[in-house]
Each structure stands twice: as structure tokens, then as C-alpha cells.
Structure 1
Amino acid sequence: MTKTQDVSLDDLWKWASINGGVFQPELLTDIPPVARRYLENAMAPGTQLASAVRLWMHGEIKLGQKWHPFKGEEVIYWNRGMIWRAKTSMQGLPIWGADRIVDGVGESRWKILGLFPVMQASGEDITRSTVGRVQVESMLLPSVLCNPDISWIELNGSQVQANFTALGEPAKLTLTVNDQGMLEQAKIDRWGNLEGEAFHYIDFGGMVEDSGTFDGYTIPTRLRVGWYFGSDRFESEGEFFHCAIDKAIYR
């Protein structure tokens, strides 16, 4: 049997399969108007309901107090997990690494020159934290939010909360949507331990600065992401990831 740590990004993508159904807006019954507006904008009628997305991206990641450019690739397969691999640099030295959760096992591994470890983390807390990342990244795979098991609560005229369980963990995902159905923000309670404190749930989310359409899916293509989302601490302490999606394919 293949060990979870040995599963590659390509492996995870090969495992994924299209659910078989297509998006039919007329079947969106008994959900709040904000949720309907979002889903109808996020997917064109007749779009295949995908179980996975593969993304190519670039941007900046904050390491310590400095921002460093990166290039990355990611596969999210909703039923099995996520692998994100990227390359950046620090003090002129290339760093390769990956964050992942596959079949309930999460970890993060980063190496200088691909050889010398600079960071490695695993265990139950890392797994739970990585699940939170996958849950908020459902905004990049909105087909999963058509699941009838999703419980929607409208918070106001522009915000809706999706309650669901993914990869064994419950989630309360808050989406902020404009009048045209475009996603503006996504927020979740994510397990984390900033500054070495004990792990606990922290507001985590992304601010959408631009969107694009791929294979019938309209998703965020420019994001600012971090902890303490929605508070004054986001920009000063929590923001650590600026991402631009260059390409996305669905299956």
C-alpha cells in the first residue's frame, strides 16, 4: 500500500473523477438568496460538477518579516485531501516544499536546495489545521458547495454561512458576496498556533481582489490570505500569502 507521505500531486490528481452530474441552477431549492446568487455566478449552467481542481499560481509568501516570491501548483481532491507544492527562496537560496493532507494525514515539509530541511511539521494539530485550509479553499472548487448536506444560514444581505463536514472536521464557512454574485471574502475558524501559543481556533480567510473563469467555474484569481481575518490584526500580524491563480482545470 502506498504511504500517504509518498503520494505525489500527480497521484492525487489521477485518483480524482468527475461526479457525473452537471450544475442545474433550477435545482437550487431551499437555500438563502445570497447562497443562490453566489453559486449561480460561480458555475455556468451545465458545468460538470467536479470533485477536484488543479491550480497553477504565483505570488508572495511572508517568511518571518519579509515577503518572498513563489511559484506553486496545487491539487484539491475533496474526498481525499490536498497537496500544494511550491518553490521560493530565502537569502538567495532556493527552497522547495509542500503542504499536504491525504487520507487524514497532514504535514508540511520544506527544504533548502531540496536537500536540507528548514521546516517539517506533522501530527494531529497540523492535520486539523490543514483540513481548515482545504475547507476555506472550497471557494476554488464551488461544486462541492452544491452538496445537499450543506446547511446554509443567511447572516445578512451580503453574507451567508455554509455549515458542513469535510475530511472529518466540521466547518462554518462565511462567504461575503456582492450584488452580482461575485465572491469578495471567505472566512473560517482554522486550527492554528501563531507565535508558539497553544493550538486553538483563529479567524482565517481570504480577500478576493479579482476573479476569472476556467472550465465554466468563476473563482478568485487574486487573493490576500491570512490569520486574524476580519480584524485590525490581519494586515499587521496575520496576512502572509498573496496569490494569483494563472490556470485551473477541473475533474
Structure 2
Amino acid sequence: MTKIPEISLDDLWESAPKSDRPFNPESLINLPNLARRYLENAIAPNTPLASAVRLWMHGEIKLDQKWHPFKGEEVIYGDRGMIWRATTWAKGLPIWGCDRIVDGVGESQWKILGLFPVMQASGADITRSSVGRVQVESMLLPSILCNPDISWTELNASQVQANFTALGEPAKLTLTVSDRGMLEQAKIDRWGNPEGEAFHYVDFGGIVEESSTFDGYTIPTRLRVGWFLGSDRFESEGEFFRCSIDRAIYQ
């Protein structure tokens, strides 16, 4: 069994290098119009192209077919992965959880009072699924999408697809963008087993209900997230995460 890296959320944040390379909209000249419109809206000119973001959030998470309030904090570092830690409550008791993918190893763990396990998952399938989460969460760290190695395809008047590799896995990230360049939806094929059977690729992503600007980055700050995005199953069984981002810092 692969050993889970002993690294905390603070460790991951502090390991990310601070960037001094400014965002220049002229660097986007060869991108499709929709990709350029999105990135120009998401990143203010001369904003340092960050390697990581740290987020504070609250919302609701669906566990055992019931919605529970949560508070959470997350670090996404594009070159190494992410760590998300949160607290929710069930029957008056706090449940502390952590999802992570760091240096190629993924894990999910939840404990009542931080002591008694209620859910733990690891292994190759969890790692691949966690990579998919990082890929779709590039909408919260849009500097990742300025990488010149990314190839862009404009699918229609409102959708553009970014094709790239992140943490060793290929991604096709489809962004739905408004006329003003605001992100409305992000979707990928993510490895998972939402039906509880064998892992396979499933449409996954988030619907953006509100956006805000932090440190020169305009990102989604109210989201509905889940499986089967784009179908009726999203509303009935796929949606499991509703979050509002309260604060974000970049480096």
C-alpha cells in the first residue's frame, strides 16, 4: 500500500513558490475568442500568476441522503495537488474530514470528534478521482489555465474546452462562459463511482451562481457541485456539495 504523505494544509501552502510573473492579456492573442474572454475576465492585468490558492468556505454537504452544514479550508497547489479539510455535524456531533491528493497519492478520511472513523478511502481509484477534482478546481486557480501547453477548442458560442495534463492525468475541461466572460459552469469527465459500483468516467462539475474578486482573481464564490452534470440526474442524485467561498488568497 502506498504511504500517504505526511503533509499538512499549512505545509502544502508554504511549499508553493510565490510568483512575480505578471499576467499579460497580450499573451492570449492566439487563443480562441471565448478562452481569451474568460481569462481576461478571471485575471486582472499585471496580477502575479499564482502557483497556489488558499480558500475559506462554508456550505452544505450531502451525506447519507441528508444535507449537513460544513465549514472548510482548502489549499490547491497546481504542481502538487490539494488538501481540503472541513467540519460538519451529525446528530449534534462534529465530524472532521480531509480529502487530499498530494504528490500522486489520494485519500479521503472522516472521523467523529476527530477520533472515530466513519469513512476512509484510499488507493489507485481514489487517487485518480482526486486528480479529477484538482482539474475541475482549476476554475479557482485560473492562472493554471494560462499555461502555454494547454490546447483550447471552442465548442460553440458559449463553451470552450481546455485540454491539458494535470498531476499525470489528461483532462478535458469544458467551461461555459457568458458574453461578459463570466464563468457559468465547469465540467470534466471524472473517475468515480457515484452509483456505488465499479469506477468509471462520469460527467462531473459545478454550476456557478455567484463570483467575486480576490487578489486580482475573479472566481466562483457560490457553487453547486456534483456528478451527472448536464443531465436530469444532477438535480435528483448527483449534486452533493453546495459551497460559498468567503475568502481567497493567492501566491
Considering the TM-score relative to the shorter chain, is it more than 0.5?
yes
Deviations 1:73-116 (A, max 9, x none): 00000011100000001122110010000000000010001000
Query: Residue 248 of structure 2 corresponds to which residue in structure 1?
Result: 248
2:90 corresponds to 1:90? yes
Query: Residue 175 of structure 2 corresponds to which residue in structure 1?
Result: 175
In structure 2, C-alpha distance between the alignment counterparts of 1:29 and 1:180, rounded to whole Å: 18
Query: Residue 30 of structure 1 corresponds to which residue in structure 2?
Result: 30
Query: Residue 212 of structure 1 corresponds to which residue in structure 2?
Result: 212
In structure 2, C-alpha distance between the alignment counterparts of 1:121 and 1:5, rounded to whole Å: 15
In structure 1, C-alpha distance between the alignment counterparts of 2:103 and 2:112, rounded to whole Å: 27
- Mapping 1:55-94, distance limit 5 Å: 55-94=55-94
Question: In the alignment, is the contact (CA less than 8 A) between 1:16 and 1:77 conserved in 2?
Answer: yes
Question: In the alignment, is the contact (CA less than 8 A) between 2:56 and 2:248 conserved in 1?
Answer: yes
Give the 3-state SS of the residue equivalent to 1:195 in structure 2.
coil
Query: Residue 144 of structure 1 corresponds to which residue in structure 2?
Result: 144
Question: In the alignment, is the contact (CA less than 8 A) between 1:4 and 1:103 conserved in 2?
Answer: no
Deviation for aligned residue 1:20: 2.8
In structure 2, C-alpha distance between the alignment counterparts of 1:4 and 1:238, rounded to whole Å: 28
Q: Aligned partner of 1:231: which letter?
A: S
Deviation for aligned residue 1:5: 3.4
Question: In the alignment, is the contact (CA less than 8 A) between 2:4 and 2:107 conserved in 1?
Answer: no
In structure 2, C-alpha distance between the alignment counterparts of 1:216 and 1:195, rounded to whole Å: 39
Query: Residue 104 of structure 1 corresponds to which residue in structure 2?
Result: 104
Query: Residue 188 of structure 1 corresponds to which residue in structure 2?
Result: 188
Q: CA-atom RMSD, angstroms?
A: 0.8
Q: Aligned partner of 2:218: which letter?
A: T
* Aligned-residue identity in percent: 80
In structure 2, C-alpha distance between the alignment counterparts of 1:195 and 1:169, rounded to whole Å: 23
Q: Aligned partner of 1:39: which letter?
A: L
In structure 2, C-alpha distance between the alignment counterparts of 1:143 and 1:180, rounded to whole Å: 19
The runs of at least 4 consecutive aligned structure 1 residues that moved more than 3 Å come to none
In structure 1, C-alpha distance between the alignment counterparts of 2:249 and 2:117, rounded to whole Å: 32
Give the 3-state SS of the residue equivalent to 1:185 in structure 2.
strand
> Structure 1 unaligned runs (5+)?
none
In structure 2, C-alpha distance between the alignment counterparts of 1:106 and 1:196, rounded to whole Å: 19
Deviation for aligned residue 1:64: 1.3
In structure 1, C-alpha distance between the alignment counterparts of 2:30 and 2:5, rounded to whole Å: 41
Deviations 1:12-51 (A, max 9, x none): 0000012331100011121100000000000000000000
> Structure 2 unaligned runs (5+)?
none
Give the 3-state SS of the residue equivalent to 2:5 in structure 1.
helix
Q: Aligned partner of 2:120: which letter?
A: Q
Deviation for aligned residue 1:4: 4.2
Question: In the alignment, is the contact (CA less than 8 A) between 2:225 and 2:242 conserved in 1?
Answer: yes
Deviation for aligned residue 1:65: 1.1
Greater Cα offset, 109-118 or 21-30: 21-30
Give the 3-state SS of the residue equivalent to 1:194 in structure 2.
coil
Query: Residue 227 of structure 2 corresponds to which residue in structure 1?
Result: 227
Give the 3-state SS of the residue equivalent to 1:58 in structure 2.
strand
